[in-house]
Chain A
């Protein structure tokens, strides 16, 4: 399979794919799988009834990664895909997802990804999803991922979701169920600018005894962009959950942060921390006193914050 320069750049931006990796992979371009390969331990199978794939990781598989990036290059293309991930018992794997849209035209390019992830007993999964958009000022780039994740007994899942510039509109929903001694960590990093809008709604159900969850959201809203962040922790048993959202607001941007804690057990410990503020003047002054210009100081602060 030969990729053009444009396609390669998109793949590098969303999945750090500079060369094609070993192992299981599925690359979807404008609604078609252009490359699909299973590995001995990770099966990648097309769904029979609707667009999308099943990724089945055999129990006990360790030190393997599966890459499932999506790219859109046709202006105005609307893509809808259903993906199912099953991480077998005791496995320990990395899943690299992500979507890159290049829209040079005037149409609305849109990708709606519906994901179901099941992390089986005692398994560990790290899931990384980057969103990236580029192209002319007339086209729109929209990404709406929705994910339902189940973290079974004693399993661990870490989801890192990153969107830095380029995507005009995102509505993300993430729903999670965490069972006995399961542990879920969600890290969101977001930067919006121009007139972009981003919404993220997370609901974590701590259904098992001694289940734990942690949500860390770091976001920057610049210019006239708008962000809304909703995080609900629902503790049904003895559990521990913490949400931490930190936002930097600039220009005429707007940020709404809506926390919700629901305890249905007296043994549930749920906490929430939220802060929205502009870059502190002292921080800028400090970096400028080291010789940076004001703009360099802002960039340094933001890139550290979104690291």
Chain B
């Protein structure tokens, strides 16, 4: 089980003043389940993932993995404990090849598996294995390669940050089926997908709605999806003076 206890996060704002990013977050995430985290831009989803990965240290509270307090562990140690995070905006590396980063993600990967993971995210291995992870790749390509690394790692705790961004509908469908097959009912694994995707949300075991740095709602897709939809309708009505297109 992955547990966040009273986690708060303050980061320096632009003018040097402390800014509250996460406020008193309490979450217990069980193995065998697929979770979605959703919510408005700037709500704190990525920050929460970074707290779990050890990239941000919470100002207050603890992170526990199977009862062990890992709040003070660094990123590398958490990676070794089986936590993996797929970046929302993956950095680029001049000179590092796709094949190399895949093998860093999963050192004993053989060529057949490697090609398989690239195909899983809709990339043709022949065209990509020896591509450089520098500025020559498109945003969608770099994003797919990021997701491929996470698939290759196959970590017990996998967090994907908006995997749908820059990825086409067919690939999303495939990704959803891979993730659900792997993590739903798998007593070893927890998958957390930060997503706004209408196809992804309904298949998750639970949806966590995060806004303004705290958990607003949490429940099954049947419970949460209507709330999200109503909220969208409300906001759009407010913004566009009553006319809503495409949302009933």
Contacts and interface: CB of A to CB of B under 8 A. Distances in A.
A292 B95 CA distance: 18
B148 interface: no
A119 B87 CA distance: 49
- Number of contact residues on A: which range applies? 20 to 34
A286 B91 contact: yes
Interface stretch (B75-83, B114-122, B185-193, B205-213): B75-83
A6 interface: no
Interface residues of B, number: 23
B96 A301 contact: yes
Given A283-B93, A289-B53, A300 B75 contact: no
A285 interface: yes
Interface in B101-116: 101, 104-105
Interface of A is mostly: helix
A5 interface: no
B90 A289 contact: no
Given A300-B104, A304-B100, A288 B94 contact: no
A304 B79 contact: no
Contact of B76 (A280, A288, A307): A288
Interface string A282-307: 11011111111110000011011111
A246 interface: yes
Nearest to A302: B95
B96 A291 contact: no
A289 B75 contact: yes
A291 B154 CA distance: 13
Contact of A285 (B75, B96, B153): B75
A288 B104 CA distance: 10
A288 B91 contact: no
Given A305-B95, A307-B95, A286 B90 contact: yes
A301 B97 CA distance: 11
Contacts of B153: 290
Contact of B75 (A288, A301, A304, A306): A288
A307 B87 CA distance: 25
Contacts of B95: 218, 303-307
Nearest to B78: A289
Nearest to A248: B94
A293 B105 CA distance: 13
Contacts of B101: 290
Contacts of A304: 93-97, 100
A294 B96 contact: no
Contacts of B105: 290
B55 A285 contact: yes
B52 to A, nearest CB: 11
Nearest to B100: A304
Interface of B: 53, 55, 74-76, 79-80, 84-85, 87, 90-91, 93-97, 100-101, 104-105, 149, 153
